[in-house]
Amino acid sequence: MRTIVKLTVICLGIFILSSCHRNNIPWEKYTSNEGAYSIFMPSPVKKKDQKGFSIFGRQTISHLVFWDPPTFTIDKFKLFEVAYTDCPANICRDTALLNVMLDSAIITRRRDYTDTEIPIQNIELNGYAGRAFFYDGEGNMLVSVKTCIVNDRIYDFIVVSKKNYATNNEVSAFFDSFLSLK
Q: Is 176 within 8 Å of 116 (Cβ atoms)?
A: no
Q: How many Cα atoms occupy the beta-carbon half-sphere of 34 within 13 Å?
A: 10
CA–CA separation, 143 and 161 (whole Å)? 7
Question: How would you write the pLDDT of the chain (182 residues) with one tens digit per residue?
Answer: 666 645 554 544 444 444 444 457 899 999 999 999 999 999 999 999 888 767 766 656 778 898 888 765 556 778 899 999 888 877 778 888 889 999 999 998 899 889 888 999 999 998 999 999 999 977 788 899 999 999 889 999 999 988 877 788 889 999 999 999 98
What pLDDT does 20 receive? 46
- What is each CA distance from 10 to 14, 21, 92, in whole angstroms? 6, 17, 60
Q: Is 55 within 8 Å of 101 (Cβ atoms)?
A: yes
Where would I find the H helices in the chain? 2-20, 95-111, 168-176
Domain ranges for the chain, please list them: 24-180
Task: Indicate the pTM of the whole model.
Answer: 0.80
What is the CATH topology of the domain spanning 24-180?
A: Protein Transport Mog1p; Chain A (3.40.1000)
Q: Is 23 within 8 Å of 42 (Cβ atoms)?
A: no
What pLDDT does 59 receive? 58
CA–CA separation, 68 and 74 (whole Å)? 11
